[in-house]
Amino acid sequence: MQMRRLGRTGLEVSRLGVGAAEIGLRMVDEARAAHVLNIALDEGISFVDTAACYGISEELIGRTIAHRRQEVVLATKCGHVTGGYEGEPWSAKTIKDSIDRSLARLKTDCVDLLQLHSCEKAVLEKGEVIQALLDAQQAGKTRFIGYSGDNEAAQWAIESGHFDTLQTSFSLVDQWALGTLFPPAKARGMGIIAKRPIANGAWGARGSDTPDPGEYAQRAQAMAAPGPIPNAPDDPILLALGFVFAHDEVDTIIVGTCNPEHMRANIRRVKAQLPIAAEAVEALHSRFAQVGREWRQRT
C-alpha cells in the first residue's frame, strides 16, 4: 500500500484509509466489523477515521482492533451532542467530555488526530472549540488537531493556522476544493484528507430514474451529458477513486464500507488498477468547469 506523510504532522499514512461511519451508523455486529477492519489492516491500510457521532463506530474499533493500535493512525472527531449526552453543542465542556468518551470507547489513551466535526465559521471564530482541542493536545489526549468541513468554514480553518490537517469533500463531482482549499492548506503544511471520494457512487448512479437521485447523482448526470469520458475505466468506482488519487495534494482518501468484499475490491483497485488515464482526469476537470462552476462543496 502506498504511504504518504500527512503534512506537517509527520505521520505516515496509507493513501487509502478507512472511513468508519458505515460500520457504526449501520450498527453492524462486532464480528463483521472485525472482519472489515482487519482486512484493511492486513492489506496495509494504516489510517482509520471515525467520529463520536458515528453510532457505535468508536466502540467497534475499540473492541476489534485496539490490540493493533501501533499499526493504526487513529483519527476521531468531536463537537456534536450525541449518544445520549446532554449539553450544548460546540462548547468546551461538550468537547472535553466527548474526547474522554471517545478515548474510552476506542480503548486508547491518545488518538493521533482529533478533529472538529464540520462546525460553522461562526463557531470557529469564537475560539472556544479551538482552545478545547489545544487543551486536549496539551493534556496528551491527541497528538495533532484538525478541522473536518467544507466551503467558507474550511477556508477560515486553513487561514487561522491552528490546525494540522484538513478533512474536506473532494471527488469527480465535487472539485471546488482543488483551487480554493488545497493550495493554501498545502502552503501551510497541512495534511489533506479527502472525504466522500466516491461521492456515494454517484457516477454509477447517474442514470437513475428515481425522482430525486441526490445532489451528487444530479451533478454526475450533468457532467456525463456531453458523452463518454475518454479513456475512462468501465468501473465507475475505479474512475472515482482514480480521479482523487490523481491529485498529489491529497495525502489520504477515506472510503467507508461494512462489506468485507467491498473492502477487498477497493484495495485491489488501489493496488493494481491505478493510475487511471490522464485523459480521463483532464476530461473530468473540463466537464466540471463547464457545468459545475457554481457548485460549492456539499456539506
For 52-74, write each residue's pLDDT tens digit. Answer: 999 999 999 999 999 999 999 99
pTM: 0.95
Domains and CATH numbers, the chain: 3-201+244-273 (3.20.20.100)
Low-confidence stretches of the chain (pLDDT < 70) are: 205-213
Neighbouring CB atoms inside 10 A of 189's CB total 11
Task: Give the DSSP letter string of 97-110.
Answer: HHHHHHHHHHT-S-
**Residues annotated catalytic, as ranges:** 54
Cell of 202: 454517484
Instruction: Calculate Rg over the CA atoms of the chain.
Output: 19
Q: How far apart are the first and last CA of the chain?
A: 30
Indicate the burial class of 54 (C-beta count within 10 angstroms; 0-12, 13-18, 19 or more).
buried
Identify the burial level of 97 via C-beta atoms within 10 angstroms of its C-beta, where 0-12 means exposed, 13-18 middle and 19 or more buried. Answer: middle
The secondary structure of residue 231, as a DSSP letter, is T
